[in-house]
């Protein structure tokens, strides 16, 4: 049984890591002014944050179904099955797109996996799945392992300005709650596949402190992967990583970023921390 691993661009897995683990990537789209870009292919995160200084506010879109069909048909030439790992189905139609395309392609069994999150935490699932393929496991064996890992994984994040999330319709709360949150820096997270406020916190510094508390409680001295994710704030993220590495020797930290699609909805200056237990 030959198994391929696909994820979408919002995992923001660096190209060399994708190549190392043979992970195939399908890009989501950013519409900036009159231009349509496939993120991570023809628009890097750095270019995006530069562009939005002068352009109108961007919008985003899931991969066209035809692109999924094209990719799966190509994979069908060399593989029997594919695990297609995607950002939360509560915030994008990408996961559903993978399922629909799976019905249209012959000779390839498509297993779509909803990470119920996004960014490098989604990347953790894709990398673990790829390692399991290397260990000789099939999709039917890998999916339950990914489901189990879900119980150990979480992400919290904060934004400088909630209006991007509100405008893009990706903040799931009553308008009155959102109104009261606009004055503070709420800590956000995913619940039942949707983005919801976790706690109201007044400053970014306090929000970061609270995330660290939550990390400590969740990991409890066990071996975990964790990732610090930033929207064009690399230095700040590096400093935070160095502090966290001192405090949590059992956790393997990495650094990642909110690229163009997720950056459109969160805005520059956002920061997040996600984790997953090591197998």
Q: Which residues bind ligand MYR (CB under 6 A)?
A: 28, 60-62, 91-94, 117-119, 121, 155, 157, 170, 229, 261-262, 265-266, 272, 274
Between 86 and 108, name the residue whose CB sits nearer to ligand MYR.
86
Find the residue with minimal CB distance to ligand MYR. 92
| CA separation, residue 13 to residues 61, 118, 215, 217, 278 (Å) | 19, 11, 22, 27, 18
Q: Measured from the CB of residue 61, what is the shortest distance to ligand MYR in angstroms?
A: 5
Between 146 and 273, name the residue whose CB sits nearer to ligand MYR.
273
Q: Measured from the CB of residue 96, what is the shortest distance to ligand MYR in angstroms?
A: 10
- Rounded to 10 deg, the angle between the 94-104 and 65-76 helix axes is 50
Q: Measured from the CB of residue 109, what is the shortest distance to ligand MYR in angstroms?
A: 25
The token pair that represents 114 in the structure block = 């909803």
Q: Measured from the CB of residue 136, what is the shortest distance to ligand MYR in angstroms?
A: 31
Q: Measured from the CB of residue 78, what is the shortest distance to ligand MYR in angstroms?
A: 28
3-state secondary structure of 136: coil
Between 76 and 208, name the residue whose CB sits nearer to ligand MYR.
208
**Which is nearest to 121 in space by CA: 228, 200, 203?**
228
Q: How far apart are CA 171 and CA 194, in angstroms?
A: 8
Between 28 and 149, name the residue whose CB sits nearer to ligand MYR.
28
**Which is nearest to 92 in space by CA: 110, 118, 58, 129?**
118
Residue that has been written with the tokens 């195939």 in this structure: 24
Residue that has been written with the tokens 């930033």 in this structure: 230
Q: Measured from the CB of residue 76, what is the shortest distance to ligand MYR in angstroms?
A: 25
The token pair that represents 99 in the structure block = 């399922």
Between 7 and 92, name the residue whose CB sits nearer to ligand MYR.
92
Burial group, residue 47, by CB count within 10 angstroms (0-12, 13-18, 19+): middle
The token pair that represents 27 in the structure block = 């890009």
Between 76 and 195, name the residue whose CB sits nearer to ligand MYR.
195
């Amino acid at each position: 049984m030959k198994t391929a691993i696909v994820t979408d661009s919002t995992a923001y897995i660096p190209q060399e890591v994708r190549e190392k683990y043979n992970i195939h990537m399908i890009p989501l789209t950013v519409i900036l002014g009159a231009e349509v870009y496939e993120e991570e292919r023809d628009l890097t995160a750095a270019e995006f944050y530069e562009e939005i200084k002068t352009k109108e506010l961007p919008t985003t879109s899931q991969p066209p179904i035809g692109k999924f069909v094209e990719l799966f048909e190509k994979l069908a030439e060399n593989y029997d099955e594919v695990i297609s790992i995607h950002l939360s189905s509560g915030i994008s139609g990408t996961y559903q797109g993978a399922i629909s395309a799976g019905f249209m392609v012959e000779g390839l069994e498509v297993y779509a996996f909803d990470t119920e999150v996004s960014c490098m935490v989604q990347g953790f699932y894709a990398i673990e799945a790829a390692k399991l393929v290397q260990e000789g496991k099939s999709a039917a064996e890998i999916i339950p392992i990914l489901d189990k890992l879900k119980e150990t994984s979480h992400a919290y994040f904060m934004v400088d300005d909630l209006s991007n999330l509100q405008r893009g319709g990706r903040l799931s709360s009553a308008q009155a709650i959102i109104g009261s949150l606009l004055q503070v820096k709420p800590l956000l997270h995913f619940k039942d596949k949707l983005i919801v406020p976790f706690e109201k916190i007044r400053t970014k510094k306090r929000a970061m402190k609270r995330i660290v508390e939550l990390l400590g409680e969740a990991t409890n001295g066990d071996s975990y992967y964790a990732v610090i994710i930033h929207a064009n704030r690399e230095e700040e993220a590096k400093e935070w990583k160095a502090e966290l590495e001192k405090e949590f020797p059992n956790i393997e930290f990495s650094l990642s970023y909110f690229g163009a699609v997720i950056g459109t909805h969160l805005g520059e200056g956002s920061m997040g921390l996600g984790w997953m237990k090591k197998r």
